[in-house]
Structure 1
Amino acid sequence: MAQLNLIHDDLGRLLHSLSCAKYKILLKDPNTKDISKSDFEFNSKFTDRMRRIKIPLPPSDERKKVAEDVDKDRKFAIDAALVRIIMKSRKVLGHQQLVSECVEMLSRMFKPDIRAIKKRIEDLITRDYLERDKSNVFKYLA
């Protein structure tokens, strides 16, 4: 832990990856999810022709937090794009045209999901930014 500058949780995840992944560099006894120092020993029978082995780490809470932050930022970007499209260019716009222009505008930053755009449109309607005029026409409320 000291040489790799790891905390206990990260060390546990790393040891688990070395013993339970495709390449079993370490042997773990007993073969459970609980980890203690005496569970691991070097696998002397391990051989591989590859010089470098990529060992995947199990997902951590930090990665989940980053993914949640990215989703949150994308929601704000979709909201801004939808309001910008209707507010700046037109006051009234059809659903299909609104979605296609939003996808085109956001494609420089990320590939937006159509379902996420539809959810954000519904959210903007509930927050009184947009109004559904007819079945597929949206109107900007200033």
Structure 2
Amino acid sequence: MNIQILPNWCKKVGVLMFITFAIFSGIDDAIDGCNGLPYNSDNGSDLFSSYFGNNAKHLFNILSIVGMIVYIMSKEKIEDDYINILRLESYQLTTLIFLFAGLIIYIISENILLTVDYYIELFLIIYLVVFFIKKRIY
């Protein structure tokens, strides 16, 4: 699996993007929760809508996912065949974990309603955790 990978300094950019935009996308929901409003309420505060438009939370979710992808696509300090094998094994294990978890969730409740960003973020987070564990074990 030989794909173009970003330089190592992009890891810092990816983490910064992810943390910044994840916080921005969660602020409106946190304010609504403190005010006792239900999730995705139309009567909510929409703190960033006046500055960034009506789709601010959606844009921030997309940018936080892009930050995670930039982090994942960045090279390690020492990039060799061993790291490539770990990436591939982590991806395979993450896919299996995600498919089994999806099957279990579907068995428990077939009417679950989640947007695509939940699945993408969960997949990327599981991949990062699996890669981190595999890198520390071997």
TM-score, reference length from structure 2: 0.25
Instruction: Answer 1 or 2: which has greater strand percent.
Output: 1
Structure ID, larger Rg = 1
TM-score, reference length from structure 1: 0.24
Greater length-normalized contact order (CA 8 Å, ≥ 6 residues apart): 2
